[in-house]
Amino acid sequence: MNKGACVKSILCAVTIGLLLSACATTTSPTGRRQVVGGVSQQQLDQLGAQAFSEIKAKQTLSRDGTQNGYVQCVVNALVAQLPAQYRGVRWETALFVDKEPNAFALPGGKVGVNTGIFSAARNQDQLAAVIGHEIGHVISRHHEERLTRQQGTQIGLGIIGALAGAAYGDAGTSVVNQFGGLGAQGLILLPGSRTQEGEADEVGQRLMAQAGFDPAQAVDLWQNMMAAGGNRSPQWLSTHPDPANRIRQLQRDIPMLQPVYQQARQAGRIPRCG
């Protein structure tokens, strides 16, 4: 190794050590070890709120009262079953006029849904599967985990743009371009890892069962998403791991979650969203 490369390696090691010293180890809802702490919850919530505002400013909001009420009903039912620190957040929901089947959730209690999702999520249980998955990312601290992992590569407005891109694909890209083409690949702009996506599936499917939505409908939702894509996968589907593997995992967990679902119904948690 030449002298320059050696110095560079030492500097990298020192930088990594300094970054990791500010981080903490925690356990995800599925028992997975996570490294977090690169950004405070307050900062994360502020970044999520700002990204959400940028998206709403650039996208067309649906004025359909029935559809907005439908989405809000599903979100409310799911939020009611969240851990206390998330249940106490004032969640905000936005429905966008866009044919692309897509949805997202951001730190700070922000949920966005495209009208195009209704072509795949054909009932309240299937819509709960989509939104439950996205909320699963938030309560599993996936945004914080990714930011911590990439801490130091993008800061300030770069992180805000990355949050927007992760949430909303092309719309997020335009936000990033607005702030000077920050090139935030590897932060939150890109989809989560396969581990995070699988975890969001697991957490979201359990959440929907706890809220009184049929967890078996998560499988139907993914089958519909695959069919809706035709020769081209929908954006929301294409950014996730292999759909066939995902369906097998969701099917695997149904027997375990059916008692949770039945207990929720017996306790009176019977959503009537539409």
pLDDT in tens, 130-156: 999 999 999 998 888 887 776 644 444
Residue 268 binned pLDDT confidence (cut-offs 50, 70, 90): very high
- 53 part of a folded domain: yes
- 247 part of a folded domain: yes
Tell the burial category of 95 from Cβ atoms under 10 Å away from its Cβ (0-12, 13-18, 19+).
Answer: buried
Res 30: pLDDT: 77
Residue 114 binned pLDDT confidence (cut-offs 50, 70, 90): very high
The per-residue pLDDT of the chain, averaged, comes to: 79
Domain containing residue 110: 36-266
Question: Could you give the number of structural domains in the chain?
Answer: 1
- 196 part of a folded domain: yes
Check pLDDT > 80 for residue 261. yes
- 94 part of a folded domain: yes
- 273 part of a folded domain: no
- 24 part of a folded domain: no
Res 158: pLDDT: 52
Residue 215 binned pLDDT confidence (cut-offs 50, 70, 90): very high
Task: Give this prediction's pTM.
Answer: 0.77
- 176 part of a folded domain: yes
For residues 198-226, give the mean pLDDT.
Answer: 95
Check pLDDT > 90 for residue 192. no
- 25 part of a folded domain: no
For residues 47-52, give the mean pLDDT.
Answer: 89
